[in-house]
Structure 1
Amino acid sequence: MNRRNFFRQAATAGVGAAAATALAAPAIAQESPKITWRMTSSFTKNTDILWSAATDIAESVKEASDGNFTIHTFAAGEIVPPLQAADAVSNGTVEMAHTCAYYYIGKDPTFALGTAVPFGLNARQTNAWFSVGGGNELLNDFLGSYNLFALPAGNTGAQMGGWYRKEINTIEDLKGLKMRIAGLAGQVMQKLGVTPQQIAGGDVYAALEKGTIDATEFVGPYDDQKLGFVKVAKYYYYPAWWEGGPAVHAFMNKEKFNALPKSYQRMIKDACANANQNMLSRYDTSNAKALRQLVSEGAVLKPFSPEILEASYKAALEVYAELNAKNAAFKKIYDSQQAFKKEGYLWNQIAEYSYDTFMMVQQRKGTL
Structure 2
Amino acid sequence: MISIIKTRKHSDSGESAAPRRRFLKTAVTGAALAGAMLFGAGQAQAATTWKIQSVWDAGTVGYTLFEEWCNSIKEKSNGELIFKPYPAKAVAADNNALFDAVRNGVLQGMNPFTLYWSGKIPASVFLTSYPAGPDQPAQWDTMFYSLGLLEKTREIYKKYGLFYVGPIQHDANIIHSKKPVNSLDDLKGMKIRLPGGMVAEVFQQFGVSSVSLPGSDIFPALEKGTIDAADFVGPAVNYELGFSQVTKYILFGPPGVMSIYQPVDLMDLTVNLRAWNALDPKLQQLVEDELRIYSQKHYLTIQKRNVEAMEKFKADGNTVTRLSQEDLQKFRRAAIPIWYEWANKDEDAKAVFQLELDYMMNDLVGYVSKEDLEAAKKEM
Q: Specify the TM-score bucket, using the shorter chain as the normaliser.
A: 0.7 to 0.9
CA offsets 1:40-65 (integer angstroms, 9 cap, x no match)? 222224541x2234213311212224
Q: Work out which of the residue numbers 34, 46, 60 in structure 1 matches 2:72.
A: 60
Against the structure 1 CA distance between its residues 153 and 336, is the aligned structure 2 distance closer, same or farther, given a 3 Å change threshold?
closer
Residue 308 of structure 2 is aligned to residue 289 of structure 1: yes
Residue 235 of structure 2 is aligned to residue 221 of structure 1: yes
Residue 245 of structure 2 is aligned to residue 231 of structure 1: yes
1:318 is displaced (CA, Å) by 0.8
* Distance (Å, rounded) in 1 between the aligned partners of 2:217 and 2:57: 11
Query: Is 2:359–2:365's contact at 8 Å kept on the other side of the alignment?
Result: no
CA offsets 1:109-167 (integer angstroms, 9 cap, x no match)? 3111222122222101112222232211111211222222223353134x253112223
Q: Work out which of the residue numbers 56, 78, 86 in structure 2 matches 1:74.
A: 86
Against the structure 1 CA distance between its residues 209 and 51, is the aligned structure 2 distance closer, same or farther, given a 3 Å change threshold?
farther
* Distance (Å, rounded) in 1 between the aligned partners of 2:71 and 2:311: 33
Q: Work out which of the residue numbers 198, 205, 209 in structure 2 matches 1:184.
A: 198
Query: Is 2:117–2:124's contact at 8 Å kept on the other side of the alignment?
Result: yes
Q: Please list, as runs of the form range in 1=range in 2, the aligned pairs for 1:78-93 lying within 5 A after superposition.
A: 78-81=90-93, 83-84=95-96, 85-93=98-106
Query: Is 2:169–2:265's contact at 8 Å kept on the other side of the alignment?
Result: yes
Against the structure 1 CA distance between its residues 163 and 261, is the aligned structure 2 distance closer, same or farther, given a 3 Å change threshold?
same
CA offsets 1:51-103 (integer angstroms, 9 cap, x no match)? 23421331121222445543332222333455443343234342222111112
CA offsets 1:4-51 (integer angstroms, 9 cap, x no match)? 6x9699679947777766666544543x22x33322222224541x22
Query: Is 1:56–1:275's contact at 8 Å kept on the other side of the alignment?
Result: no
CA offsets 1:208-246 (integer angstroms, 9 cap, x no match)? 334454322223222221121121222200031123333
Against the structure 1 CA distance between its residues 312 and 250, is the aligned structure 2 distance closer, same or farther, given a 3 Å change threshold?
same
Q: Please list, as runs of the form range in 1=range in 2, the aligned pairs for 1:119-138 lying within 5 A after superposition.
A: 119-121=132-134, 122-138=136-152
Q: CA RMSD in A?
A: 3.3
Q: Please list, as runs of the form range in 1=range in 2, the aligned pairs for 1:1-368 lying within 5 A after superposition.
A: 14=28, 26-30=41-45, 32-33=46-47, 35-45=48-58, 47-48=60-61, 50-67=62-79, 69-81=81-93, 83-84=95-96, 85-121=98-134, 122-152=136-166, 154-157=168-171, 159=172, 161-168=174-181, 169-171=183-185, 173-175=187-189, 177-181=191-195, 184-239=198-253, 240-306=259-325, 308-343=327-362, 345-346=364-365
Query: Is 1:102–1:182's contact at 8 Å kept on the other side of the alignment?
Result: no
Letter paired with 1:162: I
Against the structure 1 CA distance between its residues 87 and 199, is the aligned structure 2 distance closer, same or farther, given a 3 Å change threshold?
farther
Answer with 1 or 2: which has the greater Rg. 2
Query: Is 2:166–2:288's contact at 8 Å kept on the other side of the alignment?
Result: no
Query: Is 2:109–2:269's contact at 8 Å kept on the other side of the alignment?
Result: yes
Identity %: 24
Gaps of 5+ in 2: 1-8, 254-258, 368-380
* Distance (Å, rounded) in 2 between the aligned partners of 1:343 and 1:307: 20
* Distance (Å, rounded) in 2 between the aligned partners of 1:150 and 1:199: 29
